[in-house]
Amino acid sequence: NAGVTQTPKFRVLKTGQSMTLLCAQDMNHEYMYWYRQDPGMGLRLIHYSVGEGTTAKGEVPDGYNVSRLKKQNFLLGLESAAPSQTSVYFCASSVGITLGEQYFGPGTRLTVT
């Protein structure tokens, strides 16, 4: 039982490049989330999904897109990376009923130069 996994662990992009972060969970959770964590800012929600085929905007969605084609996977895309998107990205999942009990992945450290 791997829980929540994220790939890649590290990535360096140049401004304007695109990339996709992959999140996978094996707990059959309905809800999945993408956060970014910056020093002094705390975790901020980018997008989330309440089930397969659904997505919704969080607190800081601009510059990101997401897709949830399969229940176990949640993809985060950056179409044209900007230095302001340098951050650590965390994926999380939850059963749905008690939304605060979220299970987090190990994170992806992204640097945009």
Partner 1 sequence: EDQVTQSPEALRLQEGESSSLNCSYTVSGLRGLFWYRQDPGKGPEFLFTLYSAGEEKEKERLKATLTKKESFLHITAPKPEDSATYLCAVQAFRTDKLIFGTGTRLQVFP
| Residue 62 binds to partner 1 (criterion: CB under 8 A) | no
Nearer to partner 1 among residue 19 and residue 95 (C-beta): 95
CB of 80 to partner 1, least distance (A): 26
| Residue 95 binds to partner 1 (criterion: CB under 8 A) | no
Beta strands in 1-113 (DSSP E): 4-7, 10-13, 19-25, 31-38, 42-49, 56-57, 64-67, 73-78, 87-94, 103-104, 108-112
Which residues make beta-bridge pairs with 37? 43, 88
Binding residues for partner 1, rule: CB under 8 A, are 4, 31, 40-45, 48, 50, 58-59, 90, 92, 98-107
